Amino acid sequence: MKTYVYSFGGGTADGDGTMKAVLGGKGSGLAEMSKAGVPVPPGFTISTEVCNIFFQNGNKVTPEIDQQMFAALAKLEGQIGKKLGDAENPLLVSVRSGAKFSMPGMMNTILNLGLNDKTVEGLAKRSGNPRFAYDSYRRFIQMFGEVALNIDMEKFDHIFDTRKHKAKTKLDTDLTAADLKAIIDDYKKLVQKETKKPFPQDAREQLTMSRDAVFRSWWNPKAAYYRKMEKIPDDIGTAASVQAMVFGNTGDTSATGVGFTRDPATGEKLFYGEFLVNAQGEDVVAGIRTPQAISELEKIMPAAYAQLREITASLEKHYRDMQDFEFTIEEGKLYMLQTRNGKRTGQAAVRVAVEMKEEGLISKEEAVLRVAPQQLDQLLHPVFDEPSLKKLVNIATGIDASPGAAVGRAAFTAEDAVEMSSSGPVILVRKETTPDDIHGMDVAKGILTAVGGKSSHAAVVARGMGRPCIVGAGAIAIDERGKKFTVTVNKKTVVVKEGDWISMDGTTAKVYLGKAVTRDPDPTSSYFGKLMTWSDEFRGSFGVRANADIPRDAKVARLFGAEGIGLCRTEHMFFAEDRIPFMQAMILARDVKSRTKALQKLLPMQRKDFIGLFQAMDGLPVVIRTLDPPLHEFLPKREDLMVDLARLPHAGKPMKKEMSEKYRIKPGDLKKQLPELLKRVEELHEFNPMLGHRGCRLGITYPEITEMQARAIFEAAAHVAKKGIKVIPEVMIPLAGSVREVEHQKEIIVRVAKEVLAKAGQEKLHYLVGTMIEIPRAVLVADEIAKEAEFFSFGTNDLTQTTMGLSRDDYTKFSGEYETVKVFKADPFASIDQEGVGKMIKMGIELGRKTRPDLEIGICGEHGGDPASVEFCYRVGMNYVSCSPYRIPIARLAAAQAAISGDKTESMRTA
């Protein structure tokens, strides 16, 4: 005889934890716990196969299945000592769905099954709580009515609300037993009216009807849609678990509670939780009564407490992880209602993983796998003290651009931020940031912008600095001149002026009015250190480098474990206040001679920067990218110039002064020079700057720029090498799309290197010349490009934009709809789009290594700090990832996890 129904409870079970396909997730979990000797309320699970039989058999089960189910019910009644439908001591059960894969909330559940006009009286008597009994009954009628009888829920609600109105009560809990009885009567009348039959009083009929309703819910529209989205097959069906209900509110020998086997906030190994005597589970959560600390239970019910300690300890051992459990004590008897791996803070995750390994409970591999890389963020940035936050109003939500909590006074310009920072913490609030704002961002505790996405200037720079940052908070309307912003909260306008305190969390992207308390992280804890050391053991030759442009960032990166610099954006050096005039002079130059003259002024500055970087990274490689952004980024904005030019004829002295400072033109010269400046800006204006005159395209039209940069790099390298510091420069050519471009730029770099190194007597200094792979054409001809390029670095920001034809800054305008329609699996600018961009990357690696088997390949886009992307990079055989300094620990951990669970791709890297 085939088994369709599997019993569990009383220290035994027909199934076990491996039988998810047959019993569903819930059913197999209950079987596993029972088998492990955990006292769970007993019951039985009707297998997923029955669900399929049900549909094939015209929406009903076979007599054989009914027979097995009632046999299991009889067994359950024996175990629990109550009978379904018994008027004195009724057994109540729940009927729950549960498929192989979790489909949270998509299918139906029925509770309190077994109540009828008679058993409700027995329950009232036995519980000594008639209100509870009638409330349970009216809930059952409502649930059963909706799920099994297809009666519109609103009709029940209408009856309920009418009664509440009559009773003049505000809260459901204020309704008396008499009120509830009246509601029950009306409910039953509704059922009669809608189904032309009375509400079924036979508990066994209730059971079969409920079971069938649960099976039918497999085809709920939302469930079918969810399966389609999650690619869950339609033909695997759901199981139905029938379980005895237990009650913690039958008197003073009953109780209910929740707890953790370790402290979920810190990870410390202590028994943690709370409970209420004579209460139901929801009372603990609802906060109507204040629960007691779990240690008190020992005094009140020592036996149950001892059993709970023992059971939870064994559960932790069984599941080999910190457990989050719920329990009920019914008349002195302990039942475990649920246990699951407990959610925890990042700090706790690290400590639990490390201590469990040291306790011998888990292996070192498991310890490394236990911490979600993203969680490390919490250890590296300040976090809010939750209670202090609860008092504040959330006034806006943007996009989480750089994690961590920050509190400070609002400043609306970089200059103001600098000034205000001397007297206390500052949050810089801007519509969007530009390179001109760097000094303000540097002194700010946090950065908030109204526009832009995760890869906007503000986001990229903030992450590099480790500053909390929220971008694209479109709800706030910034008035820069008025030094304030307004935002509508609950239909009221809130004005935040310069100097007002605000709090912001770059992790949740929420902005609060007022001053919360922050807690500083402790990234130097021994737990963290151990986890990192173990991670590095697994990572093998797969490297983690940092994106860092200045020596200070390089030093931070090294502290966090960077094994080199994967991207130094040389243009960031040009944006500095003391350099931009020379940069602008270079751009405004009309011929090679005057351009070269301006470049000569920049040369010593660049050289100094590189010296600092090389010193900081002694012995480690430093990838330096030649000039990348379009030149107009270094000039004033076209619209500003146009507007100011229109204003100029009517401008008074103050406005002229403002313009003069802004454009570095004497007030008297504005009339003549402003149109000239606009003309040059117009010439450089681009329709799609992302696809314009930038990257190596600049180096090809202005070879003298590449030449100056190469000179600065190699003069710095020679200078540092002479001091006995080991320098490994890797010069990177951006935005190449053909081998010819790489060849052209490499020719200049190699020529300058030869000349400079020979002059310095450093001919043996080893360096590489490589290229970024960031446009699809570079991938398509990667075999050709690898003939010249000695390394590849995937610039996945731009590669994502070009491959998807999607501007990261403009995507924010419709990303909401795209997420709703589920066009992409995840935000492609946060995590590599593996189906699309990922294919490109794989192709590029294959073609590149075909030409040059030992080609060094890395990634330097923002994705380098995203765990799923790091795993991908490991799997496709890259040599390293490079990311912001503050994400290096995350990348190290993610790489280790990839190494432990992934394919063994080590051979690809050492080919």
Catalytic residues: 457, 860
740 is a site residue for a copy of itself (CB under 8 A) = yes
Task: Rank residues 125 and 842 by Cβ distance to a copy of itself and give the closer one.
Answer: 842
Which helix (DSSP H) or strand (DSSP E) does residue 880 occupy? strand 880-883
Residues 6+ apart with CB under 8 A from 876: 838, 841, 842, 845, 905
823 is a site residue for a copy of itself (CB under 8 A) = yes
Q: Annotate 182-251 with DSSP letters as a single string.
A: HHHHHHHHHHHHHHSSPPP--HHHHHHHHHHHHHHGGG-HHHHHHHHHHT--TTS-EEEEEEE---S-SS
Q: Annotate 683-712 with DSSP letters as a single string.
A: HH--SSGGGSS-THHHHHH-HHHHHHHHHH
Name which of 517, 501, 509, 500 is nearest 389 in CA terms.
517
Task: Give residues 749-788 in contact with a copy of itself (rule: CB under 8 A).
Answer: 774-777, 780-781
Contact 609, 550 (CB under 8 A): yes
C-alpha dist (Å) from residue 180 to 113, 118, 272, 474: 18, 15, 37, 48
CB 855, min distance to a copy of itself, A: 20
Task: Rank residues 204 and 431 by Cβ distance to a copy of itself and give the closer one.
Answer: 431
Side-chain half-sphere exposure of 354, counting CA atoms within 13 A = 20
Cα separation, 327 vs 337, in Å, equals 5
Cα dihedral 456, 459, 463, 465 sign? positive
Cα separation, 673 vs 788, in Å, equals 44
Stretch of 265-273, 345-353, 637-645, 717-725 lying at the interface with a copy of itself (CB under 8 A): 637-645
Select from 377, 809, 856, 866 the one that contacts a copy of itself (CB under 8 A).
Answer: 809
802 is a site residue for a copy of itself (CB under 8 A) = yes
Name which of 734, 742, 638 is nearest 694 in CA terms.
734
CB 170, min distance to a copy of itself, A: 34
813 is a site residue for a copy of itself (CB under 8 A) = yes
Stretch of 562-570, 653-661, 692-700, 853-861 lying at the interface with a copy of itself (CB under 8 A): 692-700
Residues 6+ apart with CB under 8 A from 25: 98, 99, 100, 101, 102
CB 376, min distance to a copy of itself, A: 31
CB 70, min distance to a copy of itself, A: 46
824 is a site residue for a copy of itself (CB under 8 A) = yes
Both tokens of 247, joined, read 């009650």
723 is a site residue for a copy of itself (CB under 8 A) = no
801 is a site residue for a copy of itself (CB under 8 A) = yes
CB 294, min distance to a copy of itself, A: 48
Number of residues near a copy of itself (by CB under 8 A) = 58
Contact 393, 410 (CB under 8 A): no
177 is a site residue for a copy of itself (CB under 8 A) = no
Q: How many CB atoms lie within 10 A of CB 324?
A: 21
Select from 489, 658, 814, 903 the one that contacts a copy of itself (CB under 8 A).
Answer: 814
Task: Rank residues 217 and 455 by Cβ distance to a copy of itself and give the closer one.
Answer: 455
Contact 198, 192 (CB under 8 A): yes
649 is a site residue for a copy of itself (CB under 8 A) = yes
Select from 196, 650, 653, 764 the one that contacts a copy of itself (CB under 8 A).
Answer: 650
Map residue 93 onto helix, strand or coil: strand
CB 39, min distance to a copy of itself, A: 47
Which helix (DSSP H) or strand (DSSP E) does residue 32 occupy? helix 20-35
Cα separation, 193 vs 159, in Å, equals 14
Cα separation, 90 vs 893, in Å, equals 54
CB 690, min distance to a copy of itself, A: 4
Site string for a copy of itself, 826-845 (x = CB under 8 A): -------x-xxx-xx-----
Select from 559, 643, 758, 911 the one that contacts a copy of itself (CB under 8 A).
Answer: 643
Secondary structure letter of residue 859 according to DSSP: E
Burial (Cβ within 10 Å: 0-12, 13-18, ≥19) of residue 491: exposed
Task: Rank residues 326 and 798 by Cβ distance to a copy of itself and give the closer one.
Answer: 798
Contact 475, 467 (CB under 8 A): no
Contact 300, 277 (CB under 8 A): yes
Task: Rank residues 193 and 839 by Cβ distance to a copy of itself and give the closer one.
Answer: 839
744 is a site residue for a copy of itself (CB under 8 A) = yes
CB 838, min distance to a copy of itself, A: 9
CA angle 398, 399, 401 (to 5 degrees): 130
CB 649, min distance to a copy of itself, A: 8
Select from 235, 577, 578, 817 the one that contacts a copy of itself (CB under 8 A).
Answer: 817
Task: Rank residues 492 and 650 by Cβ distance to a copy of itself and give the closer one.
Answer: 650
Both tokens of 565, joined, read 């610099």
Looking up tokens 């220290």 gives 11
Cα separation, 742 vs 721, in Å, equals 27
Task: Rank residues 170 and 672 by Cβ distance to a copy of itself and give the closer one.
Answer: 672
CB 740, min distance to a copy of itself, A: 5
Cα separation, 890 vs 901, in Å, equals 16
693 is a site residue for a copy of itself (CB under 8 A) = yes
Q: How many CB atoms lie within 10 A of CB 384?
A: 24
Stretch of 68-76, 544-552, 658-666, 689-697 lying at the interface with a copy of itself (CB under 8 A): 689-697
CA angle 205, 211, 217 (to 5 degrees): 135
Cα dihedral 271, 274, 280, 283 sign? negative
CB 774, min distance to a copy of itself, A: 7
Task: Rank residues 455 and 535 by Cβ distance to a copy of itself and give the closer one.
Answer: 455
Select from 692, 725, 827, 900 the one that contacts a copy of itself (CB under 8 A).
Answer: 692
Task: Rank residues 271 and 818 by Cβ distance to a copy of itself and give the closer one.
Answer: 818
Task: Rank residues 56 and 820 by Cβ distance to a copy of itself and give the closer one.
Answer: 820
Stretch of 15-23, 138-146, 486-494, 818-826 lying at the interface with a copy of itself (CB under 8 A): 818-826
CB 824, min distance to a copy of itself, A: 7
Task: Rank residues 320 and 697 by Cβ distance to a copy of itself and give the closer one.
Answer: 697
CB 833, min distance to a copy of itself, A: 8
Cα separation, 690 vs 685, in Å, equals 12
Task: Rank residues 148 and 840 by Cβ distance to a copy of itself and give the closer one.
Answer: 840
Both tokens of 33, joined, read 């716990």
Stretch of 63-71, 395-403, 688-696, 859-867 lying at the interface with a copy of itself (CB under 8 A): 688-696
Stretch of 155-163, 685-693, 854-862, 867-875 lying at the interface with a copy of itself (CB under 8 A): 685-693
Which helix (DSSP H) or strand (DSSP E) does residue 858 occupy? strand 856-859
Stretch of 332-340, 461-469, 521-529, 680-688 lying at the interface with a copy of itself (CB under 8 A): 680-688
Select from 697, 760, 905, 906 the one that contacts a copy of itself (CB under 8 A).
Answer: 697
Long-range contacts, 578-585 (Cβ 8 Å, 24+): 578/605, 579/605, 580/634, 581/664, 583/634, 584/634, 584/635, 584/664
Instruction: Determine the length of the chain.
Output: 911
Select from 167, 576, 691, 830 the one that contacts a copy of itself (CB under 8 A).
Answer: 691
Select from 333, 822, 853, 901 the one that contacts a copy of itself (CB under 8 A).
Answer: 822
Cα separation, 607 vs 475, in Å, equals 44
Task: Rank residues 566 and 795 by Cβ distance to a copy of itself and give the closer one.
Answer: 795
Chain positions contacting a copy of itself, by CB under 8 A? 638-639, 642-647, 649-650, 686-693, 697, 700-701, 735, 737-738, 740-741, 744, 774-777, 780-781, 798, 801-807, 809-811, 813-814, 817-818, 821-824, 833, 835-837, 839-840
